[in-house]
Structure 1
Amino acid sequence: MPMYMRKLLFTILLICVHTALYAQTDNVLLSRILRQVQLFPQEKTYVFTDADSYQAGQRINLRVFLVNAVVHQTDSMSRYVYVELLNPERLVVKRVRLLRSNQDFVGYIDIPEGVAKGRYMLRSYTQNMLNLEGYESLKSIFIGGHGKLLPFKYDDTLSESFSKIDIYLNVKRLSNSVKVSISSGNNIVKNEYRLFVHCRSIPLYFGKISEGKDVILCRDSLSQGGIYSFQLLDGNLKTVVEKLFFLYPEKEHCAISAKWDASDTTDDGMLPCLITADGLREGETMDVSVRVEYAGMNDVKGRSNILSHLLFDMDVAGCPEEPASILSSKEAEGLAGGCNWKRYRMDDVIRGGCKKGRIGIEKTAVIRGRVETLIGHKPIKEGVVNLISPDKGFYAMAKTDAQGRFSFEGMDFPEGTQYVLNAFTKAGKSWVKLLLDEEDFPPYAGQFPSFEWTEHDTTRVDAMLDMPKDGVLMDEVHVFSHQPAYASRSDAYARTADFSFGLRDIESIGATCLHELLRRIPGVTVDLGKCYVRGGATVGGRRPAAVAIDGIFVNEDYDLDNIQMADVERVDVFKGGSTVIWGAIGGMGVISITTKKGDFKTDDVPLTNTKIFTTLGYQVPECFTPNQRIPVWLPSLRGRSFRLLLPSVCRSGYRLVIEGVTSEGRIVSYAGALEE
């Protein structure tokens, strides 16, 4: 049994012993909750980076913590984590795929040269997390300056999802307890109700409640910390009213201390630093990431951290990102009151509506597709598909099923790996059409958190150089561009398009195929190999966008996978009024592809049984290079305490930042100067 299940069962056992519940109803309720947790194990991610502010062209070193959503313990479910760098227009600038290695997800993202100044976002997720809409894992990154987050203003939409009965659920936090009561605006509440309280689907109270008889929940009985759901249920266990309340985040925090050990300085001037946690329980260990950063004028106010992220951001539907300051004030209680909570589906689970996630947990990389006839597009049964990787010397063979589908599992190879697929009929004939299922990366349609700039100094601390002899120190030179961040910087033709990717953009993005590149554009969708702009709906049905290669329109069935990304110089997308330059054929939008040679002939690449392609393989980690801005970056440390040797320069003007989780799911978060 997984560790998180053991902890959950132990918690529920304590509740059964210490809480007066109706035995029959409670047994049914607990069994439904346990069934839902088993059917749909949920995950959260948090990205720890080597800094919060960068300049164009720098590298973002990162480590992703993947934890179980209920108990915040590192789990062993998903094998891959995806991390994307989103620009202020919500377009994906970079995407990497990290493979679990020694229980860690460590990697990097290189910021392209020339990107515009602004607040960018790191979005991280697993395939399993895509089962839930509105629970994005976001991390703010400032490029070209320093900024701070501002608390987001939520609309009180939670109660609107329930029946508009004239009854109120009142939750009030006292010094060492929480008081819950119900009242009516006009009449005395006569019906019998039950109060159900849970935190991250772990039930903490279930019992009767009526007007005039308040329920007092003492602090010790509320064993969890974070967002609590107080649900008023009728006789059919249907939720009448629900209130969210943010309580006791300190219960989830594992406090640590960091001190210099001046008595044991090494001969080379390195200073030992001792990191300990006095509150660790027996057998409990820490799994943390550590960085030492130049403090300067940028303090930790207005940042988010792993504590605010796991306890608040990732449990609230549509929550962009909150500063960590909300945890130390009553502001969080007010914020939670206007939030919506759909993650754990407790309203349905209580009534027996347990269900699995639509997308399974990703245990390995898979290449899928289908084979069909050239005429009539009928599936080919028992066809033979060969997969070859010249880079890795790998070969595999699969047969198609009755629907003409095939799959190759265990394709765990690094990024840039090239594959060759070819397909034949059962009789060995090559006149078939081979279609490849492309990896689906959902666009981000959510909202970015509010922020404000705190410092506009764009000096690259890590690029400071000594003045050469007879050198001349020039004033800082500012270069401004009025071209949108998403536009091509290769020529002026892109100005007439709505979205453009020039050669430099294509190379920096590293898309594996044209469809992946087009999916990054808002309003463009790819379905069964065809591209649609804003849905492409007409009176006669759905129509794909027109595709032009080097100015020549191709047939609607033309497969864009026939064009290798290495041959593409520019991609322009026209939608709306900009399509008039293409005439009537551009009514549903136009995708214009310009090749490097400029004389691409569609007849040169007919629809055949062979495809050459690359997938988004896993990223191979690279060593970190210390610099003046970040002299120390240690993404993975495990144990009960740590003794680090730090450069002597860190003793003044630098800050130590430590974040992670313990083996029992408590959260480690520390930021400050080292103590003497």
Structure 2
Amino acid sequence: MKKLFLPFLLLLFASLAAQETDHAKLEQIASRLLTDIRATRQNYLFAHLDKPYYMAGTTLWFRIYLASVNTHNIGAGVKTVYAGLYNKEGMAINKVLLNAEELQLNGGIQIPPDLAEGYYFFRAAAGNSYLFTPFAVVQPIYVVNNLQKNSLSETNKISNSKKAKDSALIQFFPEGGNLISGVENTVIVFATGTDGKPASVNGTVSDHLGNSITKFTTSSNGFGKFVFNPSRPRRYSVHIREAETSGRVYPLPATSDTAYQLALVKNDAGYIKFRVNLGDVLYAKKAKSFLLGFSKDSLVFAGIGTGMYEAEVSKSKIPGGIADFFLFNEKMEQVSHRKVWIDPADVNLTISADKERYGPRSKVQLKIAVTDKSNSPVPALLSVAVTDDNALLQATDTNFLRKLILSPRRLINSHCAGEVAVSFNEETDILMSSPEITEITVRRDSFLNIEKLPDSKISLKGILKEKNKALAGETLNIFPYPAANTIMKTATDEKGYFEIKDLNFYDSTVFALQPENTRINIEDVTITLQESGFQVLPTIPDFSACITEMNNERIEAFKKATADTFLTGSSKTMLEEIVLRSVKGKKTSEKKGNKLSRTITREQLQKQGLSTTANAVMMVPGVVMMNGKLTIRGGMPTLSPDLAGASQEPIVVIDGVPASTGNSVIDFLNSIPPEQIEEIEVLTGPEGAQYGSRAGNGVILIKTGLPQFLSGKKENMVIIRPKGYHVSPEFYIPDYSNEKVRYAGFKDNRSTIYWNGDVFVGKEPLSLSFYTADTASTYTVTIMGITDKGAIIYKKTKINRN
């Protein structure tokens, strides 16, 4: 048994008496490590979804948080974030681009109404990274389709039992990276089945003489550990018991006479203590070593020791999160590495409601404040979700915040909810024990042939052809709107390909393309635009293990709660008829076939000399402003924000394509110069039904043409609307202050009562308000976010609706 020498540890931030060469080496190592850490621009993302279960045809609401792994600084210098809904085969169902530079990272992804019931993944990654690194978001959801049968199919059912299959793969990770003879060693075990998913196994550690040393069991997450005291020259192995077989034997790494090991021996509320263990040769020589600790991108500890020694480090100066401690030999070579979890300093998130209990369709007011230990306000970006517990049974997870911060180092994404066989404190320490554990979080062979996602602004690119023949070497003039006086130029290559890089525009932005060559007839030209986005991605077995953590009971509860949603009249058109019957006692909708439309031509627009498109639309009888919103006949608010996705405002259709109008139709209309418009038609009758349930408040049809200043001398143009940065649709909150809505005879069974993915809390507490639904229940308020200093926030509270 080896003994500790008297500790001889010299700290940089104390009065020291040591050789100048040792100090010079220590400073040189520290400088080199700091340079490397700060040069590593690695970012991590985490996501807040409004819920884990959705109906087909509804909206998945999300907020992405992006920060530096090292500094936790928000944004982390990334330009673009890629997000989307994917199936298990890696095919995109719907995808969006997010403007990370402007922190516009919230949005809503429409789930197709005909999407087959089953499991899907919400994925997101920052530019200049892979879509499925440990620093990306891979979050499972379940989509219910009530037009299909109402029970989980055999193919969609999941098992919460994860046993190792035949030929399980077992990996061993000694603490600090090495095994040392004559001292206690901790060894981490990670087990997977043949399907690549974590597995629960039982094992026995034995020496080559057949002596049983110790036993262990891995948890459902595949991790376990054991402690033993190896001695040379014995060899050690692990026997894994497998059903109906004699099992398999795995050799353990051999001990080394020239190895160093940095082991954690204490981690309490105030201090952490390390022990430096040495192989036999180094032990005899009383080898010197250098110990340095880093948190985020700062040096928090440094010292020099001789032989085997212990070093105690105060936590008071170490920020919360993961701290890295490195051991170097006299040649300034890294010989061991150990991570340590430090509980974050308290950031207090306060959520208070104005009442203890609420009735149906009642107004709820929440007050939110973020403060530090001294009760001083802390600026923070937040997202808020309020969900109905009847539809969404809540999983208890007291360690969610720690899981979230550890997520880049975890095999399974932090959002996978489920019980683990070991305590989370123990699991945390397992993940910190050896840096090699982080290398198993991704199956590298899964993406060796996948290119990194570009970190640039959007590219406007496509192929120019005339009568199906590529137009090579042609110059294109491109006019973006509303900045119509700006002209961009590009040229096609030999295949007709053109591209303009690093543009910053949003969905529904209009461009006019004009070949400079006047001999080209634009009517014979086809322009095939190419999207900026991701390619098809393969399934990742490790991340698909998240699926097994979703609970069948919760899925069935959601299906039951939403079973009749598609029959309740959630669309605007149906709700309008219900409300009019309820209030007036008779149906007053327009007669079928009675076309109610008004058309405004370009000539009329020019004659009126209107400065904005919204003013032009308001020339149509029945188009009025109400509560700051542009409406047709006053509009009719929807009671299902998922199904309608808008307020009482009409839908806008440009050249046959429904437009994403953001938070305000009037603001969107005013972004279109009147001179660009050929014709405006407003539909107020049933003819708008072809545009779906969103058309219940009417339809504004806009046909565009060349702006006035381009007509005449500049012709031969084509209008295009490429996919740009995502603009979050509005999460509509039903306005039950309107008596017509409050007393209407429909069923309000929303599962997401409220969502806001873009909340900023500053010096003063923030107030939010929304209305309850019909069913007596308990609501869960979930708030997630990040402070201006990079501290992650997560909290849940309850509201009684009975």
Could you say whether these structures have the same fold, taking a TM-score greater than 0.5 normalized by the shorter chain as the test? yes
Quote how far apart the aligned CAs of 1:131 are. Answer: 10
Equivalent residue for 1:307, pick from 390, 396, 401: 401
The separation in 2 between residues aligned to 1:660 and 1:259, in whole angstroms, is 17
Equivalent residue for 1:653, pick from 773, 778, 781: 778
Closer, same or farther: CA 200–295 of 1 in aligned 2, 3 Å? same
Quote how far apart the aligned CAs of 1:622 are. Answer: 1.5
Q: Which amino acid aligns with 2:798?
A: A
Secondary structure of 1:398's counterpart equals: strand
Partner of 1:644: 768
Closer, same or farther: CA 152–438 of 1 in aligned 2, 3 Å? farther
Partner of 2:214: none
Partner of 1:662: 787
Closer, same or farther: CA 367–672 of 1 in aligned 2, 3 Å? same
The separation in 1 between residues aligned to 2:539 and 2:14, in whole angstroms, is 44
The separation in 1 between residues aligned to 2:172 and 2:413, in whole angstroms, is 13
Quote how far apart the aligned CAs of 1:405 are. Answer: 9.9
Closer, same or farther: CA 670–645 of 1 in aligned 2, 3 Å? same
Quote how far apart the aligned CAs of 1:107 are. Answer: 1.0
Quote how far apart the aligned CAs of 1:24 are. Answer: 3.2
Partner of 2:612: none
Quote how far apart the aligned CAs of 1:83 are. Answer: 0.8
Secondary structure of 2:78's counterpart equals: coil
Q: How big is each residue's C-alpha offset from its partner over 1:19-58, in whole Å with a ceiling of 9 and x where there is no partner?
A: 9796534544454455446544332222212222112222
The separation in 1 between residues aligned to 2:368 and 2:503, in whole angstroms, is 40
Alignment of 1:222-621 (within 5 A): 223-245=318-340, 247-251=341-345, 254-262=347-355, 269-279=362-372, 282=376, 284-296=378-390, 298-301=392-395, 307-308=401-402, 310-315=404-409, 322-323=416-417, 329-337=425-433, 340-341=437-438, 361-362=455-456, 364-367=457-460, 384-387=475-478, 395-398=487-490, 408-415=500-507, 439=532, 441=534, 443=537, 446=540, 447-448=543-544, 449=546, 450-451=548-549, 452-455=551-554, 456-457=556-557, 458-459=559-560, 461=562, 463=565, 615-621=722-728
8 Å Cα contact 1:385/1:424 also seen in 2? yes
8 Å Cα contact 2:176/2:338 also seen in 1? no
Partner of 2:107: 107
Q: How big is each residue's C-alpha offset from its partner over 1:605-630, in whole Å with a ceiling of 9 and x where there is no partner?
A: xxxxx999875411222211346212
The separation in 1 between residues aligned to 2:430 and 2:800, in whole angstroms, is 35
Partner of 2:309: 213
Quote how far apart the aligned CAs of 1:100 are. Answer: 5.0
Secondary structure of 1:119's counterpart equals: strand
Partner of 2:243: none
The separation in 1 between residues aligned to 2:107 and 2:65, in whole angstroms, is 12
Q: Which amino acid aligns with 1:218?
A: S
Quote how far apart the aligned CAs of 1:213 are. Answer: 1.1
Q: Which amino acid aligns with 2:383?
A: S
Quote how far apart the aligned CAs of 1:65 are. Answer: 1.7
The separation in 2 between residues aligned to 1:359 and 1:220, in whole angstroms, is 40
Quote how far apart the aligned CAs of 1:214 are. Answer: 0.9
Quote how far apart the aligned CAs of 1:95 are. Answer: 0.8
8 Å Cα contact 1:33/1:201 also seen in 2? no
1:48 is the counterpart of 2:48: yes
The separation in 2 between residues aligned to 1:148 and 1:307, in whole angstroms, is 26
Q: How big is each residue's C-alpha offset from its partner over 1:228-263, in whole Å with a ceiling of 9 and x where there is no partner?
A: 333332334333233334x13343x52323233349
8 Å Cα contact 2:392/2:751 also seen in 1? no
8 Å Cα contact 2:391/2:751 also seen in 1? no
The separation in 2 between residues aligned to 1:160 and 1:228, in whole angstroms, is 16
Q: Which amino acid aligns with 2:57?
A: G
Q: How big is each residue's C-alpha offset from its partner over 1:450-499, in whole Å with a ceiling of 9 and x where there is no partner?
A: 4143332313549276699xxxxxxxxxxxxxxxxxxxxxxxxxxxxxxx
Q: Which amino acid aligns with 1:116?
A: A
8 Å Cα contact 1:159/1:241 also seen in 2? no
The separation in 2 between residues aligned to 1:625 and 1:136, in whole angstroms, is 29
The separation in 1 between residues aligned to 2:114 and 2:490, in whole angstroms, is 45
Equivalent residue for 2:289, pick from 193, 197, 202: 193
The separation in 2 between residues aligned to 1:437 and 1:270, in whole angstroms, is 46
Secondary structure of 1:617's counterpart equals: coil
Query: Which consecutive residues of structure 2, in runs of 5 or more, have no partner in the other structure?
Result: 1-10, 145-151, 179-252, 441-450, 465-469, 570-577, 579-716, 734-747
8 Å Cα contact 1:54/1:142 also seen in 2? yes
8 Å Cα contact 1:306/1:659 also seen in 2? no
8 Å Cα contact 2:319/2:344 also seen in 1? no
Partner of 1:492: none
Q: Which amino acid aligns with 2:425?
A: S
Work out which of the two has the higher radius of gyration on C-alpha atoms and give 1 or 2: 2
8 Å Cα contact 2:476/2:515 also seen in 1? yes
Matched-pair identity in %: 16
The separation in 2 between residues aligned to 1:657 and 1:99, in whole angstroms, is 25
Quote how far apart the aligned CAs of 1:170 are. Answer: 1.6
Closer, same or farther: CA 112–304 of 1 in aligned 2, 3 Å? farther
Secondary structure of 1:332's counterpart equals: helix
Secondary structure of 2:115's counterpart equals: coil
Quote how far apart the aligned CAs of 1:117 are. Answer: 3.4
Q: How big is each residue's C-alpha offset from its partner over 1:262-298, in whole Å with a ceiling of 9 and x where there is no partner?
A: 49999x9534333334526656312211121112375
Partner of 1:491: none
More deviation, 47-56/312-321:
312-321
Let me know the Cα RMSD of the aligned residues. Answer: 5.3
Q: Which amino acid aligns with 1:233?
A: F
Quote how far apart the aligned CAs of 1:651 are. Answer: 9.4
The separation in 1 between residues aligned to 2:266 and 2:160, in whole angstroms, is 27
Secondary structure of 1:230's counterpart equals: strand
8 Å Cα contact 1:127/1:359 also seen in 2? yes
Closer, same or farther: CA 285–333 of 1 in aligned 2, 3 Å? same
For this pair of structures, how many residues does the alignment match?
A: 496
Quote how far apart the aligned CAs of 1:69 are. Answer: 2.5
8 Å Cα contact 2:80/2:455 also seen in 1? no
